[in-house]
Every structure is written in C-alpha cells, then in structure tokens.
Amino acid sequence: MRSSAAERVRSDDLVALGLKPREARRLAAEVNRLLDTCPSVECWRRISSGLLSPAHPFPVHRLLHRIVFHNQHDMGPAPIFVPAPNSIQETNLARIQEQLGLESFAELHSWTVENRSGYWEMMIRHLGIRFRTPPLRILDSTPDVENVRWLPGARLNIAESCFGRGSEPAVVYRREGAPLSSLTRKGLDSLSNRVANALPLLGVDRGDTVAIDMPMNVEAVAIYLGVIKAGCVALTIAESFSAPEVRTRLKVGKAKALFTQDRILRGSRELPLYARMMEAGAPVTVVVPARGRLSEPLREGDLSWDDFLSENDAFQAVACDPDDAINILFSSGTTGEPKAIPFTHLTPVKCAADGCLHQDIREGDVVAWPTSLGWMMGPWLIYASLINGATIALFDGIPTSRSFCEFVQDAKVNVLGVVPTLVGAWRAGGWLEGLDWSSVRVFTSTGECSNPDDMHYLTSRAGYRPVVEYCGGTEIGGAYITGTVVQTSVASAFSTAALGMSLTILDRRGVESDQGEIFIVPPSIGLSTRLLNRNHHREYFAGTPQGPGGGLLRRHGDRMKRLDNGYYRAQGRMDDTMNLGGIKVGSAEIERVLNRVPGIGETAAVAVSPPGGGATRLVVYVVPAAPEPEFDEQELKGIFRKVIADQLNPLFRLHDVKVVRMMPRTASNKILRRQLRSGYTGQDS
C-alpha cells in the first residue's frame, strides 16, 4: 500500500474536467487500484498506455499525472512517457546494444565515447554509406583533436547514400489545399540528376556555390541533392529572410547561381519571393512556379524551372574528398554578420546516425519536421530520412494550421519533429482534437526551449509516445545533448549526451558543476573544422579551460543544468544570441536595424524565459536619443515589429519594449544583458 487519502482520484473531479459520470467512475476506480499497488513510474506507465486516450480531455491527463507523482519532488521532474520493455527491444538502439553484447544504454554510451573510431565505423557500416574508394582508416591518430581527419583516403559523394536503402517513396507531400502526393526514390534520383546535368547552363562548375532560397518542397529537395551530386556547394537560405539578409548571405557564400520560387503560398496569402531575390541582387536565377506557371516575367538571363531542367535523367555523381564542402549554412553569433558554416560529406553521417539511434528512424518510416533548407534541420531531415531508408513528409503550407495536423494524420507520419512554438499554436487552436495520430511512434523537439505542459499535451494526443528533446547546432551537424526512445521522457529535459560525444559543465571558475556553461569533448564526426568568414579556433577553442582529463574542450555557448534525477535542462545562451521561432539570431543583428529608427539612441535586445518555461521571448530595451523619452512603448513596439519583419525576418516575434534612461554597464562599458534579463517583469502580451 502506498496511497493516502490525499492521493485518491475522485470521480467528481473528473466529471468537472469533462468526463461523463460513468466513465469518470470507471477511470477513478482503475487509477486508484494502480495507486494502491504500483510504484509511481510503473503506475504512470500503465495509466498512460492503457487507461488514458486522446479522447480524454487534456486536463484529465494532467490531473492524473500530478496525483501519481505528487510526492516525487525530491526525485526531480516526473516522466511523461515510460517505455514498455517489449517496445524497447524493437528499437534500433536495442539491436545495436545487443550486437555489442552490452547490458544497458549507459554501457553503450560509454562504449561509443571510449571507442570513437569503432563507433563511427559501426555506424558507417550500419547506415550503408557508399564509397567510391574506401577509407584507409576511420580516424587519423593525432593529439590535435581540433584538426582531426576522418576517413582519410576515401572518395565518396554522400548524395549517393540517400538512395541506397528502402523501397518506399522518397517523399510524400501535400501542397496546402491539394491531395496527398508522393515521389518514388527512383523519381527523386532522376529529378536530381536532371538538375545536376543542367547546372552548366548557369555557368556553374564543380566546386562552385549555388544558392537555394525557397520553401522546402519536392523541387527544393531535388535541387539540393542535384547540386551536391554535381560536386557543387549548396548555399541554403531560409525563405523568410529579408532582402538585405539574403544579400549578405549571397555575398558571404559567393553564390554563382540561385534557385527560388516565384511566390510563397500560405493560405489565402501570396508572398513575393522572386521579387525579393531581385532586390537582394541575386545572380542568375532559376524560378520554380508555385502554381503551374510563373506569376510574373523574369529578368533577362533568368530561367523558368521547366526551361532549365535537362532531359537527361542519368548522372554519375562526382566523387569527392570527405572534407569537401556540400552545404553552407548560417548561424548567428554576437556580431552583425552571421557565421558561414560548411557542411562536408561527413556531416550527413552524423545526421543519419543521430536519426537512427536517437529518433529511432527505421526503414519504411515516414518522417516529418516542419523546417527550411536554410535551417540545419532541413538538410538533417533529408539525410536522416533517406540514408535510413525512410520517407520524407513535406507540407507546403502553414505548419501552425489544422491543415498541417491533418497532413500528419493522412501521411501516417511515424516520426514527427516539432519546434515548441508550433505545439503551443496547435494547442491554442485546438487543432489536434479529433485527429488520429496513432501512427506517430516518436516525437522530437528542437530549435528552442520547450514548455513542459505543452510537451505533455503533445504526447497525450497520440496515446503517449516518447518526446526526444534534441539540442545541438549547425556547427555540430546534429545534437550534442538529446534523449532516446529507450529512456523515460521527462518533459523539456535531456537524458543523455549524444552517442559518440561526451560533455562537461563548468562554472565561472572552470570547475565541474551541475550548472554552468556546457563544453564538448572532441572529436566527433559532424563537428565543424572551419568557417568561411570567422576564425574557427577563436570561435570554438580559444581560451577554453582544460577538460576533466586535461584534454582540449570545445565551446558551444549554452547554459545547462543537471537535475537531481540526472537529466538536463537548457537555460539559454551564454553569449548574446537567442532562438526565435526556431532560428538562432544574434542580439547585434536585431540592434543593428532597430538603432536606425529615428529618435533611437541605443537598444539592447535580450531573450527572456517565461515563468512556466518554454520558448524565449524577445524583449528590447530602448534609450531614446533625446534626453526626455517621447515614445509610447506600445507604439514603439509596433514600429519595431515592422522593422524586424521587413529587414530581418517576420518569424522573429517581438514580445515587449521597455524605454529606459540608460543601460546598465560593466566597468569596460559593456551592457549588462544578464541584469536586463533578470530584471524584466513585464506581463504576457
């Protein structure tokens, strides 16, 4: 017996939350029986997997979860998903663990860190990575972990490994308002070959950079793979960026050609995209029509999609060195110009390995993650799906809509990735009610800090599935800290360092701690080794303390806290960057455009965490140019919102504006952003 009167479930309470009396009495009796006979974790596993269903109102789920774990505060945050032993045995992780003769996940993780060459050799073999010339070895032995060389002597084109497994469609997709469609693996292979064969029409040679700025649809995936097959470099830009931001990225990446779409269709709205590319000073451009035919005339020298494509659908992919670049992506730092980070032919191995072992992507799965090629999760989705023999699910429309949620149901998505902001929008709109998401086997979340209550809501709508929190960066090619499907899921918390990687948390004195800045212990496949427009050593290694064993540590810049139960919670960034709408942006980028507004003397953009957890909110402090403030804060908020949308990105939502007489500063005149963050007391708006 472990229950007390305070722990009992009352049927009247369940009726008050929306259940009919008969169902309330039945559920209360079953739950109380389990409370009397089972430990908390096992009790919740049985309740969530056998008694509760998506048809029950979410407040009922939340109440029962609170009652089960009401006296577990000393053990850390309570789990929302507990895997059953039989489901664990079906996972990719369990199969790998069994092959190695290891008894637990902890043993497996230790093995992958202590035998890094062996781990990556095993995963390269398991994933079926194709080589023209096999590597001489997996890793060159050198004490310089900053500049290690993986797969020396190998020749490959990683795009070929995207077509080596699986017989299911390569892509299943829906344009908003249209029926479900699909493209076979052979069809995607042929379409990408037609792109590769036609690139010389644009004056593009091997090694040149080709930009892609368009929604992530079937054509975008084919273009991306075709560019890589041709031995070129894809420079991918999020279609939400403004013309000045696009111009910056085209210049940094030295793009010789561009692929775009004439317009972006979002519900009843049509947003001009080709015109924005022209404003950005785009090079020769190929334009894909959003609706069958182009909506406007093209600039002289530009080509329509149909006029560009080659009729030849056979192409021999160009064999490359593993360290050759395949993709340039951008990640904000603390200065105005974004960091240009090259992916190489090695990076997709990290994407696919993570997808296999952490998201449990299996051959024949359908994988959806609303994203863009301009954000690292776009390329990640391509490689993690196709190399693992799965199907990519793409929705060309508004991801916060009921239509997207219906797409997940109709496409029978098995692995669904989210940005936490999306979950909040689905919940607020009630878009998941009445849908059948029973096909979903795994949820996974990245891009920003998630809200625990929203994550509980999400998994409850699919009959309780694991929620794999996934945190990394463009310069990692995946995650450094994450979860798994074989461990209990704790809402908005990470359970482990990624396989093949180890971490340490250091306080301000450089001493190991349960809270502070997190550092990566290199090496690993996927970790960047160069930047196009920054000094790589200075960004990631200069001035870092020694690791626990005396080795070199790699800086990433996240604050992390290790919880009492051994899980981890992210606590934002150490530097002046933030994640807004799943996109990393530097405070300097925001301040640069806001400081140009007439009457503004100075601004400071900070990210503030909401009291209940979840995505950070952008708050801007303002010092007017005139001695006496003349601005109304609400009026200024409207002005700033328009400037940010027009000149940066409409996805960067401004939460609040505060007018102050002066900024708090250090003795060296740096703004004390931590003081601004901690002192913010604004209300929701």
Is 181 within 8 Å of 228 (Cβ atoms)? Answer: no
Q: At 347, which CATH number?
A: 3.40.50.12780
Flag whether pLDDT at 652 surpasses 90: no
Give yes or no: residues 585 and 526 share one domain: no
Please spell the DSSP secondary structure of 437-491, one letter per residue.
-TT--EEEE-SSPPPHHHHHHHHHTTTS--EEE-EEETTTTEEEEE--SSS-EET
Average predicted confidence (pLDDT) for the chain: 91
Alpha helices in 75-127 (DSSP H): 85-89, 92-100, 105-114, 116-127
Average pLDDT over residues 137-160: 93
At 5 the pLDDT is 41
**Torsion sign, CA atoms 374, 377, 380, 382:** negative
At 651 the pLDDT is 79
Question: C-alpha angle with apex 60: 54 to 61, nearest 5 degrees?
Answer: 60
Give yes or no: residues 540 and 610 share one domain: no
Of 555, 589, 604, the residue at which a domain comes to its end is 555
Residue 78: inside a domain: no
Give yes or no: residues 349 and 296 share one domain: yes
pLDDT in tens, 555-597: 998 889 999 889 999 877 776 677 776 677 777 778 878 888 8
Please spell the DSSP secondary structure of 266-334, one letter per residue.
ETTEEEE-HHHHHHTT--EEEEE-SBSB-SSPPPTT-EEHHHHS-S-----PPPB-TTSEEEEEEE--S
Give yes or no: residues 543 and 621 share one domain: no
Is 305 within 8 Å of 312 (Cβ atoms)? Answer: no
**Half-sphere exposure in the Cβ direction for 71 (13 Å, CA):** 10
Helical (H) or strand (E) element with 556? strand 554-562
Say which range, 68-77, 275-284, 304-313, 541-550, has the weakest mean pLDDT. 68-77
Average pLDDT over residues 15-43: 95
Give yes or no: residues 545 and 594 share one domain: no
Give yes or no: residues 528 and 600 share one domain: no
Give yes or no: residues 47 and 196 share one domain: no
Say which range, 53-67, 90-104, 176-190, 656-670, has the weakest mean pLDDT. 656-670
At 627 the pLDDT is 65
Within a 10 A sphere around the Cβ of 203, how many other Cβ atoms? Answer: 11
Rg of the Cα atoms in the chain: 25
- pLDDT band of residue 685 (cuts 50, 70, 90) is very low
Residue 135: inside a domain: no
Give yes or no: residues 468 and 439 share one domain: yes
Q: At 609, which CATH number?
A: 3.30.300.30
Q: Give the Cα separation of 557 and 539 in Å (integer).
A: 10
Q: Give the Cα separation of 51 and 55 in Å (integer).
A: 11
- pLDDT band of residue 1 (cuts 50, 70, 90) is very low
115: burial class by Cβ within 10 Å (0-12, 13-18, 19+)? middle
Q: How far is CA 457 from CA 53, 88, 318, 426, 611, in A?
A: 12, 23, 47, 10, 18
Q: How far is CA 597 from CA 623, 643, 644, 647, in A?
A: 12, 8, 11, 12
Residue 568: inside a domain: no
Q: Give the Cα separation of 526 and 417 in Å (integer).
A: 20
**Half-sphere exposure in the Cβ direction for 236 (13 Å, CA):** 30
At 670 the pLDDT is 62
Residue 342: inside a domain: yes
Greater pLDDT, 126 or 269: 126
Flag whether pLDDT at 358 surpasses 90: yes
The residue length of the chain stands at 685
| Ordered strands of the 654-659 beta sheet | 600-608, 617-624, 654-659
Average pLDDT over residues 497-517: 93
pTM recorded for the entire structure: 0.88
Flag whether pLDDT at 191 surpasses 90: yes
Flag whether pLDDT at 451 surpasses 80: yes
Give yes or no: residues 551 and 615 share one domain: no
Residue 283 backbone class (left: φ over 0; alpha: ψ -120 to 50; beta: rest): beta
Flag whether pLDDT at 269 surpasses 60: yes
Helical (H) or strand (E) element with 145? none
pLDDT in tens, 306-349: 999 999 999 999 999 999 999 999 986 545 678 999 999 999 99
Is 648 within 8 Å of 593 (Cβ atoms)? Answer: yes
Using alpha carbons, select from 527, 534, 465 the residue that is nearest to residue 501: 527
pLDDT in tens, 240-267: 999 999 999 999 999 999 999 999 998 8
**Torsion sign, CA atoms 279, 282, 285, 287:** negative
Residue 140: inside a domain: no
Is 220 within 8 Å of 371 (Cβ atoms)? Answer: no
Of 13, 30, 60, the residue at which a domain comes to its end is 60
Residue 114: inside a domain: no
Q: Give the Cα separation of 206 and 213 in Å (integer).
A: 20
Give yes or no: residues 352 and 276 share one domain: yes
Query: What's the domain count of the chain?
Result: 3
Q: The tokens of 178 are what?
A: 């249209």
Q: Give the Cα separation of 88 and 94 in Å (integer).
A: 7
Q: Where are the beta strands (DSSP E) in 345-474?
A: 366-368, 391-396, 415-418, 442-445, 467-469, 471-473
Average pLDDT over residues 594-608: 86
pLDDT in tens, 371-411: 999 999 999 999 999 999 999 999 999 999 999 999 999 99
Q: Which domain holds residue 32?
A: 5-60
Residue 94: inside a domain: no
Question: C-alpha angle with apex 608: 336 to 605, nearest 5 degrees?
Answer: 30
Give yes or no: residues 357 and 320 share one domain: yes
Say which range, 362-366, 584-588, 627-631, has the weakest mean pLDDT. 627-631
Q: Give the Cα separation of 484 and 359 in Å (integer).
A: 7
Residue 38: inside a domain: yes
Do β-strands 79-81 and 577-580 pair in parallel, antiparallel, or remain unpaired? unpaired
Q: Give the Cα separation of 120 and 602 in Å (integer).
A: 49
Average pLDDT over residues 135-160: 93
Give yes or no: residues 532 and 596 share one domain: no
